[in-house]
Structure 1
Amino acid sequence: MNLRSLGYRTDLIFARFHGRVTDLGEAVAVANPNSPAHYFGNLLVFRAPPERGDLPNWERLFAQYIGQPPLTPHRLFGWDVPALGPADVTEFLEAGYHLEENAVMAAPRLHAPPHLNSRAEYRPVLDTDEEWAQVLENQVGSREDGYDEARYRQFKATQLRGLRDMCRAGLGVWYGAFIDGQLTADLGVFTDGHGLLRYQSVGTSPAFRRQGLCGSLTFRAGEHARAHFQAEQLVIVADEHGGAKRVYESVGFQDVERQQLLLHRGR
């Protein structure tokens, strides 16, 4: 199956490892039975943007190929159109959907940020329970506002087990920024095996923010992974309206696509 968008193409790195990817013709169904409530592990990516009248069919296909409540409480739809164009989302918004907008960013290689943090040690996370426990704590601590800690911890523990398995399989490397032995920032970089690398789950401890750690780790990890996997292009997806996008720009990432999705969180 051929997808045009770098964002969705690199999403499939994780989808193929953790679950199933099904070509429906008009859409690609991505489902992860081990984590059915994970938004980006369970979605439909359509070939064309929505038009008036699509809502019932899209929801029917989601229930059939992805899941439905209570196991899969959400519904998530994207469309494989790298440049934003006409999309009639009115009926989705009226039905309680939220329009998500992301920037897909890419670079052949990165450069150091303006304020490189030289205090931290930047290296791959060791494959030990102790260091991955630090990763879990950092990911939970750096979560966005509005997420319940207990539920987010459960989700992250499941997600990280899968990402650790991918690292063990040689498909990626998890990196950390350590200060005095403490993990202060972390992220993963994963390969599609065909020259593309995709960043995943960038997180910085609230106690260590505004010290240049995120940009420094993004740079160090990217250059290490690029050489390790002999990759040609690095890809990262950022909230179009979030502050992290500026950090990624500071190390050389540039906008290459715009991505829109419709999310209904359910109950």
Structure 2
Amino acid sequence: MNVISLGFRTDLMMLEMSGSVVVDRSTHQVVRTPTNPGFWWGNYVLVASPLRDGDADHWTHEFGEYFPEATHFSLGVDGVDGEAGDAAELARLGVTVEVNAVLTAEEMPAPDRTPPGVDLRPLHGDDDWAQAARVHASCDDGDPSDPAHRAFTENRQADLRRLCEDGYGAWFGAFVDGRMAAGAGIFTDGSGLARYQNVETHPDHRRHGLATAVVQHAGHWALTELRANTLVIVADPDYHAVDLYRRLGFTETERQVQLQRGT
């Protein structure tokens, strides 16, 4: 299966670099992350086209065969126009349809200044990564008391830290008075594509230009140090962060479709 979605191509890039297994089944791809079974978008099926008549039953059966112990159902729909497929089939699946914007940039000027009093640098060591976890928790909609969700977030952060330590990218933090207030990661496999991860700002530090500084700094670093030629970021098209990305020169190039539900 030739994946045309830039969003899914860079998703798969990130997953394979961190040890996930992707198996091509010609009409679809099966993605497994055995070390993090609670990661819905690390354990899913990517299909080649929008859903048609009969696909609800077919993909429900296939997903059950591939992931018999899963407590979720997640199906990616390859494409660039945000088309999920037949409304009746989607209703039969009982899924939430998420359509995200995929934005790209081929240039990113060096930051002309860092906000006053802010130290912007890559993360190093246990304390920095513990602070990154604190920032993520402040932005996370999941239930922190749920053991499954806690395991997912801890495993995911361990994977991302390992990618940084293995030289696939870096995680940049904006520190105010020694405390991390915002951050984001950026990674590449050497293909020329560099993908952002988790652009986040602690609620106490929003609207101070920290996310802008982190995104710009990380993008410039990836283009110059990682020799990437295309920066890729995926975001909710209705969330205000999209305006930030556009101001930095990103343009929307496609829409990415994800179908999901708990079981």
Q: CA deviation at 1:265?
A: 2.1
Query: Is the 1:125–1:174 Cα contact (8 Å) retained in structure 2?
Result: yes
Aligned to 1:93: 91
Aligned to 1:13: 13
Between the aligned residues of both structures, percent identity stands at 35
Aligned to 1:148: 143
Deviations 1:6-49 (A, max 9, x none): 10110112221331100011111111111112121111111111
What residue identity is the alignment partner of 1:63?
G
Aligned to 2:174: 177
TM-score normalised over the length of structure 1:
0.91
Aligned to 1:30: 31
Query: Is the 1:222–1:234 Cα contact (8 Å) retained in structure 2?
Result: yes
Cα distance in 2 for partners of 1:204, 1:68 equals 37
Q: CA deviation at 1:226?
A: 1.7
Aligned to 1:2: 2
Q: CA deviation at 1:64?
A: 2.1
Q: CA deviation at 1:185?
A: 0.6
Aligned to 2:129: 132
> Are 1:244 and 2:241 counterparts?
yes
Show structure 2 runs of 5+ residues with no match: none
Query: Is the 1:138–1:184 Cα contact (8 Å) retained in structure 2?
Result: yes
Q: CA deviation at 1:254?
A: 0.8
Q: CA deviation at 1:119?
A: 3.2
Aligned to 1:42: 43
What residue identity is the alignment partner of 1:160?
Q
Q: CA deviation at 1:88?
A: 0.7
Cα distance in 2 for partners of 1:172, 1:113 equals 19
Q: CA deviation at 1:76?
A: 1.0
Q: CA RMSD in A?
A: 2.0
Cα distance in 2 for partners of 1:120, 1:238 equals 25
Query: Is the 1:45–1:80 Cα contact (8 Å) retained in structure 2?
Result: yes
When residues 25 and 176 of structure 1 are mapped into structure 2, their CA distance, relative to the original with a 3 A threshold, is same
Deviations 1:143-196 (A, max 9, x none): 13xx21233443221101011111111111111011111100111101021100
Query: Is the 2:56–2:92 Cα contact (8 Å) retained in structure 1?
Result: no
Cα distance in 1 for partners of 2:36, 2:187 equals 19
* Runs of at least 4 residues off by over 3 Å: 111-116, 151-154
Cα distance in 2 for partners of 1:91, 1:131 equals 46
Choose which of 75, 78, 98 in structure 2 pairs with 1:80. 78
Q: CA deviation at 1:113?
A: 8.8
Aligned to 2:106: 108
Cα distance in 1 for partners of 2:83, 2:132 equals 39
Aligned to 1:52: 53
Query: Is the 2:171–2:185 Cα contact (8 Å) retained in structure 1?
Result: yes
When residues 76 and 89 of structure 1 are mapped into structure 2, their CA distance, relative to the original with a 3 A threshold, is farther
Cα distance in 2 for partners of 1:251, 1:29 equals 35
Cα distance in 2 for partners of 1:180, 1:153 equals 28
Query: Is the 1:113–1:250 Cα contact (8 Å) retained in structure 2?
Result: no
Query: Is the 1:177–1:186 Cα contact (8 Å) retained in structure 2?
Result: yes
When residues 84 and 92 of structure 1 are mapped into structure 2, their CA distance, relative to the original with a 3 A threshold, is closer
SS at structure 2 position matched to 1:150: coil
Choose which of 113, 117, 120 in structure 1 pairs with 2:118. 120
When residues 153 and 214 of structure 1 are mapped into structure 2, their CA distance, relative to the original with a 3 A threshold, is farther
